[in-house]
Structure 1
Amino acid sequence: MDAVTVVGGGIAGLALAARLDPRRFRVTIHERREELPPVETSLAMWPEAQQALDALGILPAARAAGSRFGGMALRDGAGNVFLQGQAPGVIGVSRADLLRLLDAAVPASVARAYGPVRSLPVAELVAGADGVHSLVRRAVWGERSRARLSPYLALRGIIDEPVPPDAGGEYWGRGQLFGITPASRNRTYWYASYRSDLGPGGIDVEGALAVTRARFSGSAPGIAGVLMLAAPGQTLAQRIWTAPPLRRYAREGAVLLGDAAHGMTPNLGRGAGEALIDAVTLADLLNSRPPAEALQTYSRRRVLRTQVLRAASSAMTRLALADRAQPLRDGLLGLAGPRKRSAAVGR
């Protein structure tokens, strides 16, 4: 029986451990903390990610716990609609709910080890599912593969109220964006981003919320209403880091998945879903093929798609957070679709 050590017990790591054949592999998960994240966020599950959830046997429970995305409006900072789109079949799932479901799907035979991992474990295969700051990536791919710090701060949170009428969607202002979408249990998931020199670590959430309220003062009333209800205990404030571009995700004895392989900005809402697809793809190949062939095939299947998404997400970030080019961007968006004034703007 081959030993597989999974570094990281988040979405990618739990999904991999849940899908690997326990009759063939002796699996150990290393995770820093035993408890779930204290702050909930909502994750978009596109149809491909839902196929991975189905393979893991938890799609019905994820759908029951989640919320369906309806139409998604792209707005200017005042709330006027540039474009109205649809996200058919996409559901939003709380990160905490998803982690609970994945954790329950992990076989009892999988060993758990808690605490920080300071050096590369010894095993036939080490799977780096340890996030954008991956120890496995740095140890095997070298120090040049360290995560890259962006100039952007991201805040994400949940408020215990439904989405305000005619306020849902993503608002692109001058050098800042704000999103409002449905969350499970009739709540609202919101997010904001802009350039900031806060951090990169130890960011005071209450202070970041104060800065955010000041930055978005004078924006659409829907934004003001959400920020008025946002509380530090239900909010994350983090600088955005990304993984560097990689040409392959597997080397002898090591493999990367999730943010460790292709950590991207959150603007396309694909990070969690691609981590699930990574895990199921890798596990199915390891379950059915010799290890070397499985790793090579996994890398070939996953690199191009996820690196394109990583690059596209970065491009979307630059477009959404345009500062000096904002008037040109808004003019082009105005030509792309009929511009509608939001009732929430009150004009």
Structure 2
Amino acid sequence: METITIVGGGIAGLALAAALDPSRFHVTVYEKRPGLPTVGTVLAMWPNAQRALARVGILGQARAVSPVLGSGSIRNAAGEPWITVNGGELIGMSRVDLLRLLDSAVPATVRRVNRQVKDLPAGQGLMVGADGVHSVVRRQVWGAAADARVTSCLALRGTIPAPVDPDAVGEYWGRGDLFGIAASPGGTNWYASWRSDMGPSGIDVAEALEQARQRFEGHAPAIRQVLAAAVPELSLAQRIWTTPPLRSYVRGAAVLVGDAAHAMTPNLGRGACESLVDAVVLADLLNSLPQEKALAAYNRQRRLRTRALSRASAVMMLVALADGAQPLRDRVLNLARRRNARAAVASGPGR
């Protein structure tokens, strides 16, 4: 049997371990976290991610615990909608539920090692870096030039038990900040981002929440209500990090998946989705092709797509967090709203 060592037991690592053929591979997963997390926000599962969940065999269970997100609007800071987007069958899945279901799908034949990897184990066959934006595999195999890069933006997110208000769902763009409200299992999911000098590590969540309450004090009432109900125990705060563009996700007998390969800003909500797709694409190729051909095909299929999404996410962040250009951005979006309203009237009944 061939040996595969997966460093990182998060979304990408667990999905890969679940999808690899246990009759062909001896798989070991290294994970520093002693158990599954108990706090996590909601991740949008786009159609490609849902297909990946189906491939792993947990789509039905995922849908059972995840609300359909439905429609939402891009709004100004006061809450007035600019653009409304229909999410169709897009579901919002708790990170906690996602990791729990992925963990349950991993075959019993997979060896688990609960420790942090500081130096890559030698002689472990194919080495898969699924260890996130601060990947040890990427740093040691690709070199210091591939180190993660911190942005100026803070990401604060959480859940509250109060049910989501359908009229408040959407993303609110202010001057240099944004706030999002969506459905979550059993309540409301929220997230906020703005440029901050907190961190970049060891951020105090209670302090970040207080800073958010001050920052969004003049914004829409729905935002203030959510922040008033938010507590540190159900919230997470971290600076946003990204990875530099890599010429290849494969180097020798090492390959990167998920955030280790292409950590991006969260503005398109695609990070977790693309991690799942990476995992099932790589697994299916390794299950059916010799390793060298499988890795080459994986790199062709995934690098350009994920790089394009990374760039699009970065552009979206610049637009959403516009500061000096905020008045111009708002005028353009107000104009688009008025044109859409006129078009709706012109195409109304009897026209």
Same fold (TM over 0.5): yes
Q: Which position in structure 2 is the counterpart of 1:154?
A: 155
Deviations 1:262-282 (Å, cap 9, x if unpaired)? 000111000001000000000
Identity of aligned residues (%): 59
Q: Distance in 2 between matches of 1:223 and 1:240?
A: 21
Q: Which position in structure 2 is the counterpart of 1:182?
A: 183
Shift of 1:337: 2.1
Q: Which position in structure 2 is the counterpart of 1:344?
A: none
Deviations 1:108-151 (Å, cap 9, x if unpaired)? 00000011100112211000000000010111111100000000
Q: Distance in 1 between matches of 2:203 and 2:133?
A: 18
Q: Distance in 1 between matches of 2:98 and 2:217?
A: 34
Q: Distance in 2 between matches of 1:251 and 1:20?
A: 20
Deviations 1:237-285 (Å, cap 9, x if unpaired)? 1000001111211111100000000000111000001000000000000
Shift of 1:69: 1.1
Q: Distance in 2 between matches of 1:177 and 1:285?
A: 39
Shift of 1:164: 2.5
Shift of 1:165: 4.7
Q: Distance in 1 between matches of 2:248 and 2:68?
A: 34
Q: Which position in structure 1 is the counterpart of 2:346?
A: none
Given the two structures, how large is their TM-score scaled by the length of structure 2? 0.95
SS of equivalent to 1:68: coil
The one-letter amino acid paired with 1:192 is A
Q: Which position in structure 1 is the counterpart of 2:302?
A: 302
Structure 1, unmatched stretches of 5+, are 341-347
Matched, 1:293 2:293: yes
SS of equivalent to 2:120: coil
RMSD: 1.0
Structure 2, unmatched stretches of 5+, are 342-351
Q: Which position in structure 2 is the counterpart of 1:130?
A: 131
Q: Which position in structure 2 is the counterpart of 1:224?
A: 224
1:274 to 1:165, Cα distance in 2 relative to 1, 3 A = closer
Q: Which position in structure 2 is the counterpart of 1:95?
A: 95
SS of equivalent to 1:67: coil
Q: Which position in structure 2 is the counterpart of 1:210?
A: 210
Displacement over 4 Å in runs of 4+: none
- More deviation, 187-196/34-43: 34-43
Q: Distance in 1 between matches of 2:298 and 2:114?
A: 28
Q: Distance in 1 between matches of 2:217 and 2:70?
A: 27
Shift of 1:20: 0.5
Given the two structures, how large is their TM-score scaled by the length of structure 1? 0.96
Q: Which position in structure 1 is the counterpart of 2:344?
A: none
Shift of 1:228: 0.4
Deviations 1:131-186 (Å, cap 9, x if unpaired)? 0000101111111000000000000100001112521100000000000000012x
SS of equivalent to 2:324: coil
Q: How many residues align?
A: 339
